[in-house]
Structure formats: C-alpha cells, structure tokens
C-alpha cells in the first residue's frame, strides 16, 4: 500500500544535540511538508518542498533544517538552536498543481527533551 512512513515514532534529544526525523513516501508525490503540532495550536508549517533539491521556509523554520535529495525522502533536522523542540512532528505529501487534492499524512514522530 502506498503511504508515508515516519521514523522513529518516539525520539529523545539531549541538550545541544541535533536530531533527524525521517520521512519517506511511496505515493510519487512531488510536494512534501513538515508540520509541528503543539496542544491547542493546531498544525504549524516548518518547511515544504515542491521539487527535488528545492525547499522553502514555512511559518516556524527557525531552529530546523531540511534536505530534499530524493523525491521520496524529506528528512527534518531539529538543531540545538531550537530551544523548545518538544512537540509532535507530522510529515505530509501531496500532488503539485492540483490544489484541490488533499495532503496525505504520516503517523508522526513525538520528540521530547531528556
């Protein structure tokens, strides 16, 4: 079955450490997205990419970095500059050009500070 796989499901970060969250999709979608979810705040966009080797900052990009070397993969690195990284991180993908098509989501990674 096609879908989006996020790993790991749970991740713990030490002070000063960078951690990378994995997102892989086999839906052949060109666009991929990273969201942060905090209780009561809905989803906020961190980064998005509409084509390989190109990505754009979202609303809360500070302290995060991404890469898009392959169509199927869009890893997110939470750097030590992100002072409040504890959250639920969601990856999504969609078709580009057909704006009425919904985004498809992975099952998320929950990041906590040790």
Q: How far is the CB of 80 from another protein (least distance, A)?
A: 26
* Token pair for 68: 């898009």
For 68-101, b/e burial (b = at least 16 CB within 10 A) is beeebebbbebeeebeebebebbbbbbbeeeeee
Pick from 16, 42, 53, 83 the residue near another protein by CB under 8 A.
42
Binding mask 55-94 for another protein (x = CB under 8 A): -----------------------------------x-x-x
Q: How far is the CB of 49 from another protein (least distance, A)?
A: 12
Q: Are 44 and 35 within 8 A, CB to CB?
A: yes
In angstroms, the CA 78 to CA 63 distance is 6
Binding site for another protein (CB under 8 A): 4, 6, 9, 31, 40-43, 45, 48, 50, 90, 92, 94-108, 110
């Amino acid at each position: 079955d096609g879908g989006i796989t996020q790993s790991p499901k749970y991740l713990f970060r030490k002070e000063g450490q960078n951690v990378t969250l994995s997102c892989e999709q086999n839906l052949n979608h060109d666009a991929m997205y990273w969201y942060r979810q905090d209780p009561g705040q809905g989803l906020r966009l961190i980064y998005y990419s509409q084509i390989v080797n190109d990505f754009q900052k979202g609303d809360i990009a500070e302290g995060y970095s991404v890469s898009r070397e392959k169509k199927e993969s869009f890893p997110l690195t939470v750097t030590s500059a992100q002072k409040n990284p504890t959250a639920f991180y969601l990856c999504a993908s969609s078709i580009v050009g057909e704006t009425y098509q919904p985004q498809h989501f992975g099952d998320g990674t929950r990041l906590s500070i040790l």
